[in-house]
Amino acid sequence: MAQIIEEAKKRLFLEMLLLGLAFLMLIAVGFWYLVFRPQHQLYQTITTIMGSLLFIVIIFLGLGIIGTVYAIIKGHTFPFLQNSIRFAVYLLYPMAIYVGKMLDIEKEAVERSFIAVNNQLVKAKVKGIPPQNILILTPHCLQKSDCPHKITVNAWNCKQCGRCSINGLLDLSCKYGVQVAVVTGGTLARIMIKKMRPKAIVAVACERDLTAGIQDAYPIPVLGVLNMRPEGPCMNTSVNLDLVEEKILELVQPLAAASGKR
C-alpha cells in the first residue's frame, strides 16, 4: 500500500484521456456531417463554426496528451506545450473518470493513475525550489484519534511522542527546512496555502482529496503521496515518510546538489 502511488500505471489515465478524446472526435465528425447536409444557410453557418471550434479544441487536447506522454518518457517538457498539457489533463479528467466507470474500472484506480501522471509532470517541470518555499500539507487523520493536542492551528503543538506520522513529518521539516501544515479539509487547506504562500506542495491524502487538491492548488505544483488507511478512511491513517522525503528531494534538486558541491 505504501508504494501504491509510485506503482500506479500512468498509462491507465492516459488511456482514459485518449478514449475521451476519441469521443469528442466522434461528436466533431457528427457536426461536419450535419454541415454538409442540405440545410438552411444559417443552420450550416452555425454548425460549421461549432464544428471548427470543436476540432480546434481536439487538436489542442491532442497536443496536450502528446506532451504528457513525452514528459513521462523523457522526464522533461517543452514550455510551449504547458498550456496544452494542463488543458488536456484537467479538462478531460472528469471524462476519464466517466469512461473508466463505463469500462467497469474503479474510480480510485483512475485517480491513482491521475496522481502518478501529475507527479511525473511536476517532476519533469519543477526543480530547484528552496526548501523554505515547500509546504508539506497533510490531513488531520494522520494524528491518533485519541490524541488531546490540537495541531491543525499549529503543527508544532505536536508533542512528537512517535505514535503517529506527524512526528516524522516534523522531523523532515527540521531536516530540510520545509513548512508543515495539518488541515481538516479543503477549506482550511486553501487558507493555509494562502497564508504560507508556498511555491510547491507535497500533499498527503486519499485519492479523492489528492485529485481535488492538485486541481484546486493550481498554479502551485503539487506532488501527491497517498496515505495508508489500516483502520479505514479518515481514522488513524499513516504515510510512508520515505516517499514524502523523496518528493521533497525531487523539488529541491538540483538546488540540493549545487549546495553539496560548495
CATH number at residue 180: 3.40.50
Q: How many domains does the chain have?
A: 2
Which of 123, 148, 181 lies at the terminal end of a domain, its last residue?
123
User: Are 170 and 203 contained in the same domain?
Assistant: yes
What is the per-residue pLDDT for 123?
86
User: Are 145 and 106 contained in the same domain?
Assistant: no
What is the per-residue pLDDT for 42?
58
Condensed to tens digits (0 to 9), the pLDDT of residues 106-163 reads: 888 889 888 988 898 888 888 889 999 999 999 999 999 999 999 988 999 999 998 9
Which of 79, 104, 123 lies at the terminal end of a domain, its last residue?
123
What is the per-residue pLDDT for 254?
63
User: Are 30 and 118 contained in the same domain?
Assistant: yes
Entry pTM: 0.76
User: Are 54 and 104 contained in the same domain?
Assistant: yes
Which of 78, 93, 123 lies at the terminal end of a domain, its last residue?
123
User: Are 74 and 143 contained in the same domain?
Assistant: no
Structural domain for 81, as ranges: 4-123
User: Are 10 and 118 contained in the same domain?
Assistant: yes
Please list the pLDDT of the chain residue by residue as tens digits (262 residues): 444 444 446 677 777 777 777 877 777 777 666 666 655 565 667 666 776 777 777 777 777 777 777 776 666 666 767 777 777 777 777 878 888 888 888 888 889 888 988 898 888 888 889 999 999 999 999 999 999 999 988 999 999 998 999 999 999 999 999 999 999 988 899 999 999 999 999 999 999 999 999 888 888 999 999 999 988 888 999 999 999 999 999 999 765 444 444 4
User: Are 224 and 98 contained in the same domain?
Assistant: no
User: Are 143 and 255 contained in the same domain?
Assistant: yes
User: Are 209 and 92 contained in the same domain?
Assistant: no
User: Are 97 and 141 contained in the same domain?
Assistant: no
What does the chain look like in DSSP terms, one character per residue?
Answer: -TTHHHHS-HHHHHHHHHHHHHHHHHHHHHHHHHHTSS--HHHHHHHHHHHHHHHHHHHHHHHHHHHHHHHHHHS---GGGHHHHHHHHHHSHHHHHHHHHHTT--HHHHHHHHHHHHHHHHHHH-----GGGEEEEEEGGGS-TT-----SS-GGG----SSSTHHHHHHHHHHH--EEEEESSHHHHHHHHHHH--SEEEEEE-HHHHHHHHHHHTTS-EEEEE-B-TT-TTSS-B--HHHHHHHHHHHHTTHHHHHHH-
User: Are 92 and 195 contained in the same domain?
Assistant: no
User: Are 148 and 57 contained in the same domain?
Assistant: no
What is the per-residue pLDDT for 260?
44
